[in-house]
Structure 1
């Protein structure tokens, strides 16, 4: 059975990822990074990022729920309404 070059590469990549993820969460560098990411503007930036998606999703859900008539359907309704009025 032939071994490809992909297997050692995957092993090396997984070892690098586990080494990085095992870093100390309470060291001075991590405290600085946490403070800069979760700083004073964190919530305002998060809201500005999420609100457009929520608005588009809510509008899409409302339009899906009420349904928009197709162009052919509105003309058929108009014709049937005109016939009933005469």
Structure 2
């Protein structure tokens, strides 16, 4: 099959699949899922997911902000090189 015939078939296949996917947001199943996701426990579940990332990000920012002085960094590098050389 040549590329001139393959391209229209591919476009047709993609349009058929995307039409079915676009028709779903208002079906009864989608309404049920939306109601369960956006239920009364939504904010609690969202906090359980988001808070660990916020804590890790804040701790990382704090450690980056505090950092090591250049003297400590050079001493740590020298110590690592001496351990590797041994």
Q: TM-score, normalised by structure 1?
A: 0.59
- In the TM superposition, residue 65 of structure 1 has moved relative to its aligned partner by 1.7
Q: CA deviation at 1:55?
A: 0.8
Point out where structure 1 has 5 or more consecutive residues left out of the alignment. Answer: 74-86
Specify every segment of 5 or more residues in structure 2 that has no aligned partner in the other structure, as ranges.
77-86
Q: Higher helix proportion, which one?
A: 2
Match of 1:40 in 2: 40
Larger radius of gyration: 1
- Once the 2 structures are TM-superposed, how far is the Cα of residue 14 of structure 1 from its aligned partner? 4.7
How many Å separate the matches in 2 of 1:43 and 1:24? 22
Instruction: Report how many residues are paired.
Output: 72
